Amino acid sequence: MMDSRHVAFSDDSSHREGRYNGLSIVTLEKCYYRRFRNRLQEILEDSGVRSEFKWEKLKNAKYRFVAEKFIEFVFRRKEKLRIDTIIWDLEDSRHKNVLGRDDEENLVRMYYHLVSTTLSKRWPIEGCCWKWHPDIQSSVDWVTLQDCINNKKHKCVKDLFHENPDFERVNLSSIKPSNSIRFPFIQLADFFAGMGSYSCGHFDIYEKWELLNNPQKSLFYSSEELSFSNSEEERCRIIKKFNTRCKRNNLQIAFKTTRGFRSYQPDNFLNFWFYKPQSKNDICPTK
């Protein structure tokens, strides 16, 4: 088997709670890995984060500083890496009212969709050999998933290959579940997975927060209606900063019109894919 020349890092966010779930994968050539990893580690240390950054910890200025620096880190290296995020709605026809819904198996399917699409459509297939580091705390059975990717045995493969036959030629050398503290790229994936799902699930909060920053419009609301927790305040600030940066770079990532981040140009280095059921037979797996 070829030595891996490309690396991938992933994490999922809020797949047990909330209406919208998300997961992200960060991909880059291995030759950039060490230098970029060291910079991410510097960001964490300089900001006073001694353990790890997670979106759910974004409740104060310290973690906001990390998030702001993560955004700057990504845009400065937009020619060298990709971040793809898939978001799904537990209230859509695929998930809602499904008796015995198996959310852990559904997460496996979503990983499969995201990874297969990213590695086969967003990167050239020829010459790429991948080593994938997902977060070790995820509930996914990685041995089974690697088997289904390498040997095309998983029960969701048939529909996937009908859409994406190029995935058969993807070379994935290994999947190695890893500790996010030692692999800060996993923390970066957590940031985008969390921000993506939060942007959809809490868009109404963001709308009100933005009104608070518009003195003319905020006069029509009471102080209680425009009151926010620390986490809401910090997360809305980051979403606004990120959305502004995307618009400045013409990435064609919608936000307000779609009530959450969604990409119109998935080939761009930042991609938010809002998953929609592919047919009436596209139903969440059951236990």
Query: Is residue 17 classed as helix, strand or coil in its secondary structure?
Result: coil
Is the pLDDT score of 28 beyond 90?
A: yes
Q: What is the CATH number of the domain that holds 132?
A: 3.30.420.10
The tens digit of pLDDT for each residue in 220-237 reads: 555 556 678 999 999 999
Helices (H), the chain: 33-46, 61-76, 103-121, 142-151, 157-163, 184-201, 203-212, 215-218, 230-248
Q: How many domains does the chain have?
A: 1
On whether residue 69 sits in a domain, the answer given is yes
Residue 267 lies in a domain: no
In a domain, 219, yes or no: no
182 domain-assigned: yes
- Confidence grade of residue 216 (pLDDT, cut at 50, 70, 90): low
Q: Determine the pLDDT at residue 166.
A: 72
Residue 223 domain flag: no
Residue 286 lies in a domain: no
Q: Is the pLDDT of residue 26 over 60?
A: yes
- The answer to whether position 61 is within a domain reads yes
Distances (CA, A) of 285 to 23, 101, 127, 141: 18, 6, 35, 15
Q: What is the pLDDT of residues 162-201, one digit of tens each?
A: 455 677 778 888 889 999 999 999 999 999 999 999 999 9
**Contact call for residues 198 and 204 (beta carbons, < 8 A):** no
Mean pLDDT, rounded, of the chain: 86
pLDDT tens digits for range 253-276: 999 999 999 999 999 999 999 988
Residue in 9, 6, 5 with CA at minimum distance from that of residue 188: 9
Element (H, E) at 273: strand 270-274
pLDDT at 93 over 50: yes
Q: Is residue 204 in a domain?
A: no
Q: Residue 187 to residues 12, 114, 134, 193, 194: CA-CA distances in angstroms?
A: 10, 18, 10, 10, 10
| Residue 219 reports pLDDT greater than 60 | no
- Tell me the pLDDT band of 104, cut-offs 50, 70 and 90: confident
21-to-154, 172, 191, 207, 285 alpha-carbon distances in Å: 22, 25, 13, 20, 16
> By mean pLDDT, which of 16-25, 61-70, 119-128, 155-164 is the weakest?
155-164
Q: Can you give the residue range of the structural domain that contains 88?
A: 6-195
Report the alpha-carbon distance of residue 273 to residue 111 in Å, rounded: 12
Mean pLDDT value across residues 129-141: 86
Dump pLDDT digits (tens) for 62-78. 999 999 999 999 999 99
User: In a 3-state reduction of DSSP, which class is residue 63?
Assistant: helix
